[in-house]
Amino acid sequence: TILIFFLTYKLYHIFSTGNTFLWPLVNIRLVNGISSCSGRVEVFRDGQWGTVFDDGWDLTDAAVVCREMGCGDAIEAIGGAYFGQGAGQIFMGSVNCVGNETILSACESLFLHSSLRLINGHNPCFGRVEVLYNGIWGTVCDNGWDLSDAAAVCREMGCGDVIEAKSAAHFGQGSGPVWISDLQCSDTDSRLRDCKSGGWGRGTCGHEKDAGVICKGEYNVRLVSSTNSCYGRVEVLRAGQWGTVCDDGWDASDAAVVCRQLGCGTVLEVKNAAYFGKGSGTVWMNNVNCFGNETTLMSCSYNATPNRCDHEKDAGVICGCKSSLRLINGHNPCFGRVEVLYNGIWGTVCDNGWDLSDAAAVCREMGCGDVIEAKSAAHFGQGSGPVWISDLQCSDTDSRLRDCKSGGWGRGTCGHEKDELHPDILVRH
């Protein structure tokens, strides 16, 4: 939650989608300050007041608010809920003003919980696309839906690059109106509402054509300051910069998620107090609270307020050896083409006899929960290297692929003319 200085002021944003609409973007106010030019920054959206996340909030951003409200120069930009925690939703985050803007809404930012959301995905960066229009959530028709349109969604959500544009209700059918269709987004459109379209409120589809998207996501994770890629100081990538994780609340459940995400097997030991040396840059995450079955660290609950502790408390982990099993070309560690490590070389699995029982054994070994679907026909792209195994016959009690009966390791019966038939797998956690 962020704070600075000003009076209440109503802003409107005019945007075009073939027609021109008056879009109510924000009202602004300061709460709990000692004057009308200090306090917690709050914005008004969709009929309610909410706060601004202090991620990246600095004096440049504060100066724009002061200028907009006629409050003179910014004296200080304060984070950490200094003026008390707000109520309701956090509406804006990652505000990044150049400094010459006259209104806060002109700055680059991520509008959280705003007029766009992704539903039914495993994390906030993929799912069915839903938009808020006239106070009602609805879906997007997949007529003309392509990577350019999906990329605009990823940019608006702060979710990095687009991986895939999904159609035909891939993430399930929505409810309510189908608000928009025939989107024509360009590479410069940073928000869906900036794109050309057939007009808002004019969707021509049923929900069987709801559009979806898979974005890369904002975070990556790595282990550093060791001689082995499977133990070290935990670092995450955010806004193009690597930073560390605070050890407040850091435990085996949290560490297990990192090991799984990196394909490093199970957690052996949790390390605190900068055991692998102090990192540099920003402390991006603290009070991480994972259940332990998440596939990525960013799927866990955590406090994203930067630098809530110093590098003397950098978290670390020692994982087991790297797994001999991996899933490739999926949008998270629990989706992708099945590959196995044999005699030190990664290769693929022939799909002769490949079924849900075999796929379920992979899910169990990867710690990825129940199997959803066993895919073939190179859904995640063709593999390379040897075809190590075929004719798998896994039972419901096999917890690892190597426990299953098969035609023998190193005896794959598929030639690379069948690379396109390597089994692919979809799992849920």
Domain boundaries, the chain: 3-111, 116-215, 221-319, 325-427
Check pLDDT > 50 for residue 391.
yes
For residues 289-295, average pLDDT: 80
Instruction: Please state, as a whole number, how many other Cβ atoms lie within 10 Å of the Cβ of residue 62.
Output: 26
Check pLDDT > 80 for residue 121.
no
For residues 249-276, average pLDDT: 88
Q: Is 366:330 a contact under the CB 8 Å cutoff?
A: no
Of 69, 110, 87, the closest CA to residue 1 belongs to 87
**pLDDT of res. 271:** 95
- Comparison of pLDDT for 76 and 190, the residue scoring more: 76
**pLDDT of res. 228:** 66
Task: Count H helices and E strands in the chain, helices first.
Answer: 4, 26
For residues 325-342, average pLDDT: 77
Q: What whole-number distance in Å separates Cα of residue 90 and Cα of residue 81? A: 12
Q: Which amino acid is at 75?
A: I
Q: What whole-number distance in Å separates Cα of residue 329 and Cα of residue 361? A: 19
**pLDDT of res. 283:** 92
Q: What whole-number distance in Å separates Cα of residue 224 and Cα of residue 228? A: 8
Average pLDDT, the chain: 77
Report the Cα 5 to chain-centroid distance in Å: 32
**pLDDT of res. 336:** 81
Lowest-confidence segment of 13-27, 228-242, 354-368 by average pLDDT? 13-27
For residues 126-131, average pLDDT: 88
Check pLDDT > 60 for residue 340.
yes
Q: How confident is the model at residue 125 (pLDDT cuts 50, 70, 90)?
A: confident
- Comparison of pLDDT for 128 and 122, the residue scoring more: 128
Name the CATH superfamily, with its identifier, for domain 116-215: SRCR-like domain (3.10.250.10)
Tokens of 46: 């969709």
CATH class belonging to 221-319: alpha beta
For residues 190-214, average pLDDT: 85
Q: How confident is the model at residue 111 (pLDDT cuts 50, 70, 90)?
A: low
Q: What whole-number distance in Å separates Cα of residue 219 and Cα of residue 201? A: 34
| pLDDT one-digit tens code per residue, 353-390 | 888 899 988 888 777 778 888 766 666 677 777 888 88
- Could you say which architecture CATH assigns to the domain 3-111? Roll (3.10)
Tokens of 292: 């332990």
- Comparison of pLDDT for 334 and 272, the residue scoring more: 272
Check pLDDT > 90 for residue 317.
yes
| Domain pair 3-111 / 325-427, same fold | yes
Q: What whole-number distance in Å separates Cα of residue 279 and Cα of residue 90? A: 29
Check pLDDT > 70 for residue 104.
yes
Check pLDDT > 90 for residue 142.
yes
For residues 23-40, average pLDDT: 71
Q: How confident is the model at residue 165 (pLDDT cuts 50, 70, 90)?
A: very high
Please report, rounded to a whole number, the percentage of residues in the chain having pLDDT higher than 90: 20
Check pLDDT > 50 for residue 223.
yes
Q: What whole-number distance in Å separates Cα of residue 15 and Cα of residue 92? A: 19
Domain 325-427, CATH among 3.40.640.10, 3.10.250.10, 3.20.20.370, 3.40.718.10: 3.10.250.10
- Comparison of pLDDT for 300 and 60, the residue scoring more: 60
Which residues, 6+ apart, have CB-to-CB distance to 352 below 8 Å? 390, 391, 407, 413, 414
Q: What whole-number distance in Å separates Cα of residue 93 and Cα of residue 55? A: 6
**pLDDT of res. 27:** 61
